[in-house]
């Protein structure tokens, strides 16, 4: 069984760039595939979101499979909100049978935040429980009750984190639990402050978490100062310094300035020890992502050594 590109880059030390697409509310995948196609050959792999914003859409496993068939390597998100352990285990087995190799586990947005707030959440597993189950399947070829899983099993699995400016006594218990549970990589919330990322990466190394885990820092080509302020105020864990907001406010072309800022940060992240790459998200202007990646030139770089 051949490795995915994400698996290969995590092992090789090449700088990693992942992006993100949202499946459509449609039975016709043509537009979805067309929007993701420009990322082929640019992004190492592309997240397929799972019920983002607590809203229904084309099933993530189907969308990820369609991307793979079109030549775009997917990372299939698996949210714990909607399914019990039996369904999550079945989805992972099914995804592997379809040839999917990259997964990201997360809790999932509260249904009350979505367009059907009366929906009942499940949360039978949390993200660490799901990691533990996947690790058992990967190494023992068994489900939690001991049931054998037949066939080849090879995958990489990630989780999420919020980058912080770590205080002297910082003990990231959640990260350590995810590492112990079998995570291979971490994708973070937006952090547009390279100084914070440097201190975050340094502490991850000191604590022995990096490079055991490959950290991909969340960045965004922010289209306007208004968007930056909204992200700071509404998205938990987002770090956007005032200097970025000011540059967007003063720019004659805020969209171009937002892309420029994102490219600058991508290029700076290559040299930050403890950081394996970046995760580019642009919910408002997803069409900007391919150009930002191409212009940055970071996909041909080797990340900083620890």
In a domain, 22, yes or no: yes
In a domain, 59, yes or no: yes
Q: What is the tally of structural domains in the chain?
A: 1
Contacts 24+ apart (CB under 8 A), 168-177: 170/203, 172/207, 172/209, 174/128, 175/204, 175/209, 175/213, 176/207, 176/209, 177/128
Instruction: Note down the domain range covering 201.
Output: 5-300
pLDDT of 1 reads 62
In a domain, 277, yes or no: yes
Distance (Å, rounded) from C-alpha 89 to C-alpha 83?
10
In a domain, 208, yes or no: yes
pLDDT of 242 reads 96
In a domain, 105, yes or no: yes
In a domain, 29, yes or no: yes
- 242: domain CATH number? 3.20.20.220
In a domain, 63, yes or no: yes
- For every residue of 122-164, DSSP letters joined together read --SS-HHHHHHHHHHHHHHSB-TT--B--S----EEEEEE---
In a domain, 305, yes or no: no
CB 269 within 8 A of CB 9: no
Q: pLDDT 10s digit of each residue in the chain, 306 long? A: 678 999 999 999 999 999 999 999 999 999 999 999 999 999 999 999 998 888 889 999 999 999 999 999 999 999 999 999 999 999 999 999 999 999 999 998 888 888 899 999 899 999 999 999 999 999 999 999 999 999 999 999 999 999 999 998 999 999 999 999 999 999 999 999 999 999 999 999 999 999 999 999 999 999 999 999 999 999 989 999 999 999 999 999 999 999 999 999 999 999 999 999 999 999 888 899 999 999 999 998 999 887
Which sign, positive or negative, has the C-alpha torsion 241, 194, 165, 186?
Answer: positive
Distance (Å, rounded) from C-alpha 4 to C-alpha 100?
9
């Amino acid at each position: 069984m051949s490795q995915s590109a994400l698996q290969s880059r995590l092992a090789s030390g090449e700088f990693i760039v992942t992006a993100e697409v949202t499946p459509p509310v449609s039975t016709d995948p043509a537009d979805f595939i067309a929007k993701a196609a420009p990322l082929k050959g640019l992004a190492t792999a592309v997240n397929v979101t799972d019920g983002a914003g607590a809203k229904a859409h084309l099933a993530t496993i189907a969308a990820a499979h369609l991307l793979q068939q079109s030549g775009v390597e997917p990372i299939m998100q698996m949210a714990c909100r909607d399914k019990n352990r039996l369904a999550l285990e079945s989805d992972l087995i099914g995804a592997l049978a379809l040839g999917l190799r990259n997964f990201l586990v997360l809790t999932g947005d509260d249904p009350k935040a979505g367009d059907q707030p009366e929906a009942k959440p499940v949360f039978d597993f949390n993200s660490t429980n799901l990691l533990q189950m996947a690790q058992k399947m990967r190494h023992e070829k068994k489900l939690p009750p001991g049931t054998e899983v037949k066939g080849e099993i090879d995958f990489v699995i990630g989780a999420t984190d919020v980058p912080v400016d770590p205080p002297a006594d910082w003990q990231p218990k959640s990260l350590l639990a995810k590492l112990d549970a079998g995570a291979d990589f971490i994708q973070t919330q937006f952090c547009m402050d390279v100084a914070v990322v440097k201190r975050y990466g340094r502490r991850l190394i000191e604590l022995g978490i990096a490079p055991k885990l490959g950290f991909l820092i969340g960045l965004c080509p922010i289209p306007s100062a208004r968007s930056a302020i909204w992200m700071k105020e509404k998205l938990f864990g987002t770090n956007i310094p005032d200097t970025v907001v000011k540059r967007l406010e003063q720019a004659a072309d805020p969209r171009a300035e937002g892309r420029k800022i994102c490219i600058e940060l991508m290029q700076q992240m290559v040299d930050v020890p403890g950081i394996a790459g970046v995760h580019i998200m642009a919910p408002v202007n997803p069409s900007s992502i391919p150009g930002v990646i191409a212009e940055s030139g970071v996909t041909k770089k080797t990340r900083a050594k620890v």
